[in-house]
Amino acid sequence: MRDNVERWVIHEGLSFDEVKNPENNFQILVKHAGQSGIPVDVFEPKGQPGILVIGAKVVMKNSQIARYLGFTAEEKEKFEEKVNDYCNSIQVINKIITEDGKQKVGVYVVMDDKENINQQTMLEAVESVSEKYDRTARFLLKTF
């Protein structure tokens, strides 16, 4: 699958870097993807061979991070539920993560129909993630 993904990305003229992640069979970071030109990860989890995951990470603003870090466990749980509910409403899987000292909301599209994973469907998923990234960033600005 890795060779196919790299070939598709190169065919589209997108620049990318290989990312070392022990949790994945392979992972590449497309540097400027979708309508927003955001960095998008494309990877195959080790525990799910044949599944392609496409995602982007919305970095919270410094004021949001400070507020989030000041939350009690109960407040964090409520916030995470709110983000999860929103992400479910726009049909995207999410995960709140800490990376590089920043709080981020990862938004992911999972492609698990092996017969239909091709260049066109992968590029459509990249566009979808880009759009959902924008929507999630706006949601965070409005509600947090």
User: Residue 120 pLDDT > 90, yes or no?
Assistant: yes
Q: What is the spatial distance between Cα 70 and Cα 110, in angstroms, rounded to a whole number?
A: 32
What is the share, in percent, of the chain residues with pLDDT greater than 90? 90
Q: How far is CA 32 from CA 37, 40, 55, in A?
A: 4, 7, 13
Q: What is the residue extent of each domain of the chain?
A: 2-143
Contact between 4 and 14 (Cβ < 8 Å): no
pLDDT digits (tens, 9 = 90+) for 39-80: 999 999 999 999 999 999 999 999 999 999 999 999 999 999
Q: Which helix (H) or strand (E) holds 127?
A: helix 119-143
Q: CA 81 from chain center: how many Å?
A: 18
> What is the token pair recorded at 19?
């990312």
User: Residue 114 pLDDT > 90, yes or no?
Assistant: no
Q: Quickly count: other Cβ atoms within 10 Å of residue 42's Cβ.
A: 28
Domain boundaries 2-143, corresponding CATH code? 3.30.1460.10
